[in-house]
Chain A
Amino acid sequence: MSNFCADIGYLSVNHYGEELCGDHVDVVPGDESSTVVVLADGLGSGVKASILSTLTSKIISTMLAAGLSLEDCVSTIAATLPVDAQRGVAYSTFTILHIRNNVTADLIQYDNPLAILIRDGVNCDYPRTEARVEGKKIYRSSLRLQENDTFILMSDGCPHAGIGVAYNFGWRREEIIDFMEPLATVGYTAKTLATLLVNECFQLYGGQPGDDATACVVKIRKRTPMNMLFGPPANRDDGPRMMSLFFSKEGKHIICGGTTASIAAKYLGKRLDTTLNYVSRDVPPISKIEGVDLVTEGVITVNKVLEYAKDYLADNTSYEKWNFQADAASQIARLLFEEATDINFYVGRAINPAHQDPKLPINFSIKMNLVKELSACLEQMGKRIKVSYF
């Protein structure tokens, strides 16, 4: 076992005018700390390509995660894929990254652009061996993982970006490396890195991609705990117990909610300093308590964080906001989405009588739903979540 974990994020843009993507990424978590990631690119574009790539990635990821050999996977694919009527072939390229125990990784590549590995901030030309499986030329690599290793898996739509529009020969792999190297080291999440890469492809295509383009980024990082306190306990007497559990935990501490912050300040014997500094129209200002990493208002701020979380899991267009803005919700988003891998929620179930006003869009059930939805989103981002209620 290691204390590493894999942050995985991917994004695609479709061939111009197509509703379906011909590339498919599948992530199958195996047993504890082992994961199979497959990026498959089906022949052509549209529905046929989509079926080919979905079948390919599903078959490979499921079989590998179950412990079957690569040879078995490839022969299964060859026997299963429907044959294209026009071209007479069944064809889908693939890249497989099999992470074992978060210590080693096997990289298996068939006809996709060679995956990029950025290690210690620079491109790493990892060793590969060539093998023939069922007549297909396949590259295999075995690597020992290091902290901050960043793998970039791509479909050929990425290096083909800009052919005839921005560049004569597309966006070469070396140029993609030059583009990604500085970004990989500044702490962006895998999803954001994939978004930046795919957005750049979309620009180079002049907004009309000539092929499906997909990037999947896998970033190896240390586990980082984070703690978030949200709402006062239902029973006032539980306050000190809730606070001592919360503050005894390793990692950063976030407090959401005015009353909650007052209880925490009292428990710590520190002053609660509120500011009137509105950096955003719709998020209340931040406060300060010595010893607490971030103090914010409750429901409105967390609701905004949930909005960002949902967008992050979809097409991630709002990362431009939460990645740079100074408001409370953006700061929470950065701590939870980027920095944390293990998040402990301490949720108080006190009912704030003022929030039960039917004219206000904040009531008790909304607050409980916020916690439920946000923790579900964070789990989808691959984080370990623990929620304790008081």
Chain B
Amino acid sequence: MLNVTICIGSSCHLKGSRDVVEKMQKFIADYGLKDRVELSGAFCMGHCQEGVCVTVDGALHSVAPETTEDFFRREVLSRFPNGR
């Protein structure tokens, strides 16, 4: 199970974490990865300047609503080469 955590603190909220959450939920559903990726929320991760903060199995990434799709392909989808 891959753990993806998205910050929903004040700063990240203002930088669009809601959009990131919605897009990620959609991509995960579209690619049928619901059983293999666990999406969760977290409060401030202490890297507000780089928000929206997203961790994938503990590793921190900086994502914006516009870069979410790119991020999903690079960091999440690439880990499941055989698809669903």
Contacts and interface: CB of A to CB of B under 8 A. Distances in A.
Interface residues of A, number: 26
Contacts, number: 72
Interface string A338-382: 000000000000001111010011100000000000000000000
B63 interface: no
Interface in B41-57: 41-44, 48-49, 51
Most chain A C-beta atoms within 10 Å of own C-beta, residue among B6, B9, B11, B39: B9
Contacts of A276: 6, 8, 21, 25, 39-41
Given A258-B43, A258-B44, A287-B43, A274 B8 contact: yes
Interface of A: 257-259, 261-262, 272, 274-276, 278, 281, 284-285, 287, 297-300, 352-355, 357, 360-362
A298 B12 CA distance: 12
A304 B52 CA distance: 22
In order of increasing CB-CB distance, the 4 nearest A-B pairs are A354-B48, A258-B43, A274-B41, A258-B9
Interface string B8-48: 11110110011001100100000000000001111110001
A109 B45 CA distance: 62
Contacts of B48: 352-355, 357
A360 B43 contact: no
Given A353-B48, A354-B48, A274 B14 contact: no
B13 A284 contact: yes
A272 B6 CA distance: 15
Interface residues of B, number: 21
Contact of A362 (B14, B18, B39, B51): B14
Nearest to A285: B8
A278 B18 CA distance: 8
A357 B49 CA distance: 8
A367 to B, nearest CB: 10
Given A262-B43, A354-B48, 9 more contacts: A257-B10, A262-B44, A274-B40, A274-B43, A275-B41, A278-B21, A297-B10, A355-B10, A362-B14
B43 A300 contact: no
Nearest to A298: B10
B18 A300 contact: no
Contacts of B51: 354
